[in-house]
Structure 1
Amino acid sequence: MKINHNHIIKIAMVAGVIFTASCRKTYFPSDRVEDTNLLTTPDGLRTATLGNYATLKSLNYENNYHWLAELPSDEVAQGQNSSSDVTNLFKYTHLVNSANATTYFQQAYYIITAANKVIRSIPESATTDLQQIKGENLFLRAMLHFNLVRMFGRPYQQSPTTNPGVPILSETVSEEEAATVKRSTVAQVYDFILADLLKGAQLMTVNKSNSFATKLAAYALLSRVYLYMDNNAKAIEYANLVISANKYQLLQNTEYQTYFRVAPETNKESIFAIKHTKTENYDYSAVGSLYYSGDANGNALGQGQSGWGEIYASKKYYDFLNQNPQDKRKSFISPYIVDGVQQVNTKLTPGAPMYYVNKHNLQEGVVNLTSPVYLRLAEMYLNRAEANAKLNNTQLALDDVNVIRLRAGIPTYALTDVTAAHSILDIVLEERWLELAFEGHRAYDLFRNNRPVVRNYPGTHSTINGTVNQTINPTDARVIYFIPQTERDKNPNLSQNP
């Protein structure tokens, strides 16, 4: 597969050049003269903000965010070693010069810097429409700092006031200061995120589509952030605000089973998604190309037919999902079966079952097209369920879990199902696993709840010690990534993770 991954890299480089060139027609993040001209008019500020959204669609941001968030989980299996850094991310053999971590770190701060230029240009006395623009950029800045502190700072539950997080870049930090800024503590970064989201929610008053930041998107992210902080009352408060707004609906039946196959603005459940159109299809460079190889109807084919098909749903996840064969969430898995026989990737011993994942494919009938969903209504029910579980509101937690299970078409839980061996928190976390799989939640859900990632299934992790068993404890050093060495070379004040 070395040739294949080199092919991906070449396509990504070409797409990056095209993307940069197209973006620079409207947004000039490193040219002070152009910035000055662009950011002095309402139309210019709107154009700059659209440029910030567009940058989220770049391969440098979108793909790297997904791999860094998702590959450390126990719901995926890599079926064969590759020459790319993806193998290191999956196996927890992280590098100080990781290509994926370095590129994501750089791209996230690139967008943060761009957002700061817009925020800085809009005074408190600005008109309502400009305040909306400012609020949207505050949301983007908060989202990016949150992603960064999860990836490069330890879980909030582990000494947040002393553990280093990531550098905070606000609009008051000059370019000269940004070059030497130190890492703030995890707690300080979270406080900054909360302040941005609360202010952004206050400023955003326009009811936009789910491809843009909105007040309810800020509330949804506040619910997630507070949950990560174990501020359960606040997590419930903001989940309630989103659910009770009645703007979003849980999709049902076939609409749910094809959730990720429609354009995001027509999806009634998505709160915030990174919209791609048919002309923005990265094809073999897209995230979904490593998950799936098949036709436009979700039927699996051999590797290389439409994508590389190297990352699969883990046998552990598939077996757990299949405990209820009628579970509608099985629609998001396309097992590669030939003449009734489940196919196995034999490039490893033991071989990995080829359970293709199609959550990142098939949008509008295009095999490798996707609009990654960052926030959706089902998570709000599950955030509220987890927070209530931790507050010992067992029935309330079960009620929300059962909403999700009813939608999936599987049996619901009663209070008698909650036992010492199967606690209410166990039940909630299991449902989060089933519902939010392959969306970048699982490893964080485990580590922030002081639980390990346990891999007892085939995958490239077996090449580390010759066994399929790998356990990563929440206190292990490598549950987070190294600060990229290239950034430390440029900024000597950036401390390294142990």
Structure 2
Amino acid sequence: MKHISKYIAGLSLVALVSSCSLNKEPHNGIKDEDILNDETKWPAATAGNYSLLKEQNFTRNYFQMGEYPSDDIALSGATTDPLFYSYTYGHLVNQGNGNQIWRMGYKAIGGCNRLMAVMPEGKSAAINQLIGENLFIRAFVHFSLVRTFGRPYSQSPETNLGIPVITKYDVTELPKRNTVKEVYAQIIADLTRARRLMNNDNTNSYASKDAAMALLARAYLYRGQNDSARIFADSVIRGGRHPLVPTSDLPTYYTKGNEGNKETIFAIRHMVSDDRDWSSIGSMYYMSPGGLGYGEAYASESYRKLLDKYPTDVRHAFVQPVYLKNQFGKDSVNPTTGKKVLATRGKENNKVEKWYILKYSNQDNIPTLSSPVVLRAAEMYLIRAEAYAKEGNKELALEDVNTIRMRAGLSGDALFSTSDLKGYASVLDVVLDERRLELAFETHRVFDLFRNNKNIFRDYNGVHPDHPQTIRYTDARVVHYIPEQEILLNRNLEQNP
């Protein structure tokens, strides 16, 4: 058993006895057999599998590798962090963030598989719930990896390779990459079973029936099965357990922990003790008044132009302008226009205006702390809207879009109708731009474009190599390379072209 199985067979379960902290090291002196044979320890072992999602090598890379390739981000300069290659599409075969998310992802999958191998389905509702939670984690990780290393489902999923599907702990052969179609089939099978086994008693820091249905809705949307995507999104919405937060609460949504946001269906809970300060997701997006954080990746001009079409949109609260200071420490003002002067960063002929992104900052008043959101109710409305649009039900698609826009404080002429698309060519284009506004910086935009056979177009300043830069949905580098060191140890893995 070599490499990928090395990260499975060699695993001890994390947080084996102390479930109150989800940040334990994998080995704490307790034999695996003692855990696996004692069902009273299975909840703590499951908590350990959640903790692997929270590890920096998974969660930071999930949210950066899924966002930096988009047109919502303007990276202002070169950096030694491998996120640079995700942003520029200059991928390397041994790119650090690719190596990290691959290994930590399969470590989490292995932990789930090992635990599920000993848990008997049907023995009790509590054990069924734990099986469902581990199935959800396994499905979420497979989904995260296949969209990073496998091409969009709309592009020959029967032949394009995804990632190895691992569903057993005892891996006796070096695994090959499954096709994209096979990976999605397993994701949906796991979530379907998880939905059946789980209830909705968990907080949104843990998997639930609603979380399984929400991820099913997303997976079906990515797979192009619009009817199923719509049905599951509708089920979550109509269930009523995750209502949209009021307009007045939206600006502070991301500064609250999971339990403070009913709209959140599932988020990776971070407590004060989990703050990673300079290594956090938000450190690249924001610099606190006290100087904590790099603040080098900004909201792009392209995104801001879309947002600025409606100045009263409360989603302006998620980006913050940074103004140039004068010699007295005050905001500089242009004497001709009377407007404040935006600070910039970058080379002289390629300066990027500083607009901090605030969706990963200031939880519990800590500049670099956040509990990054994976699934929330607003996405369900927009999944349903996209499905309606593709099914030809324009009125209902726009009704869902308008629900999200009204929650953002918009009304009247800011709302869409079938007779007034405000210059858009189609209802689908309306939906995709609303997804861009509502779900900005939450790892959706680049996948939304590529899976709909649309290109990324960067017509703004930044460290990307061309100005303007177009990344076509057919380009080889819309996906990352399989880590080369994995291929060296497992010749059954084929590299991406």
TM-score norm. by structure 2 comes to 0.90
Q: Would the alpha carbon gap of residues 389 and 333 (structure 1) be closer, same or farther in structure 2, given more than 3 Å must change?
A: same
Name the counterpart of 2:144.
Answer: 147
Q: Is structure 2 residue 431 aligned with structure 1 residue 437?
A: no
User: Whole-Å Cα distance in 1 between the matches of residues 474 and 14 of structure 2?
Assistant: 43
Equivalence map 1:37-436=2 (5 Å): 37-171=34-168, 174-177=170-173, 180-295=174-289, 305-338=291-324, 339=331, 340-347=340-347, 349-410=349-410, 411-418=414-421, 422-436=425-439
Give, in angstroms, the shift of residue 29 of structure 1: 6.0
Q: 1:324 to 1:489 in 2, by over 3 A?
A: same
Stretches of structure 1 lacking an aligned partner (at least 5 in a row)? 1-19, 296-300
Give the drift of 1:480: 0.3
Deviation at 1:206, TM superposition (A): 4.7
Q: CA deviation at 1:54?
A: 1.4
Q: Deviations over 1:385-431 (max 9, x none)?
A: 00000000000000000000101122111111238952100000000
Supply the AA of the counterpart residue of 2:428.
L
Mark the runs of 5 or more structure 2 residues left unpaired by the alignment. Answer: 1-11, 19-23, 325-330, 332-339
Per-residue deviation, 1:164: 0.7
Q: From the superposition, tell whether residues 166 and 493 of structure 1 become closer, same or farther in structure 2 (CA, over 3 Å).
A: same
Cα displacement (A) at 1:85: 1.2
Structure-2 change in CA distance of 1:44 and 1:256 (3 Å): same
CA 1:104–1:362 in structure 2 vs 1: closer, same or farther (change >3 Å)?
Answer: same
Deviations 1:19-78 (A, max 9, x none): x99847768868998221111122211111011111211111111111111111000010
Deviation, structure 1 residue 174: 1.6
The alpha carbon displacement at 1:175 in A equals 3.5
Summarize deviations over 1:177-216 as a string: whole Å, max 9, x none: 3xx1001110011000000000001000251100000000
User: Match for residue 7 of structure 2?
Assistant: none
Residue type at the aligned position of 2:485: T
Judge conservation of contact 2:210–2:265 (CA < 8 Å) in 1: yes
Q: Which moved more, 1:54-63 or 1:436-445?
A: 54-63
Q: Distance in 2 between matches of 1:422 and 1:124?
A: 50
Q: Is 2:472 aligned against 1:473?
A: yes
Q: CA RMSD in A?
A: 1.9
- The AA in structure 1 aligned to 2:223 is M
SS of residue paired to 2:320: strand
Moved more, 430-439 or 204-213: 204-213
Instruction: Check the 8 A contact 2:13/2:111 in 1, yes or no.
Output: no
Displacement of 1:491: 0.8
Structure 1 residue ranges (4+ consecutive) displaced by more than 3 angstroms after TM superposition: 20-33, 418-421
The 3 A distance-change label for structure 1 pair 159 and 348 is farther
The offset of 1:128, in angstroms, is 1.2
Percent identity between matched residues is 42
2:180 maps to a residue whose letter is V
CA distance, structure 1, for counterparts of residue 348 and residue 282 of structure 2: 22
Q: Aligned equivalents of 1:422 and 1:105: distance in 2?
A: 39
Deviation by residue 1:88-126 (Cα, 9 ceiling, x = unmatched): 110000000000011100000000000101111112332
The answer as to whether partners of 1:79 and 1:348 remain within 8 angstroms in 2 is: no
Residue type of the alignment partner of 1:334: Q
Kept in 2, the 8 Å contact 1:226–1:232? The answer is: yes
Task: Answer whether contact 1:132 1:206 (CA < 8 A) is retained.
Answer: no
1:211-268 deviation digits (Å, cap 9, x = unpaired):
0000000000000000001100001100111000010111122311111001111211
CA contact (8 A) 1:161 1:185 kept: yes
- Greater percentage in helix: 1
Matched ranges for 1:7-26 at <5 A: 23=15
Residues 60, 347 of structure 1: CA spacing in aligned structure 2 closer, same or farther, 3 A cutoff? Answer: same
C-alpha distance 489-201 of structure 1, shift in aligned 2 (>3 A): same
TM-score by length of 1: 0.90
The DSSP-based 3-state class of the residue aligned with 2:74 is: strand
Distance in 2 separating the partners of 1:21 and 1:476:
39
- The 5-angstrom pairing of residues 24-35 of structure 1 reads 34-35=31-32
Describe the SS at the equivalent of 1:365. coil
Secondary structure of 1:474 counterpart: coil
Distance in 1, Cα, partners of 2:348 & 2:139:
41
CA contact (8 A) 1:80 1:348 kept: no
Instruction: Specify the SS of the correspondent of 2:491.
Output: coil
Whether contact under 8 Å (2:200, 2:210) holds in the other structure is no
User: Would you say the 8 A contact 1:289–1:307 is kept in 2?
Assistant: yes
Q: How many residues align?
A: 464
Give the partner amino acid of 1:149.
Answer: V
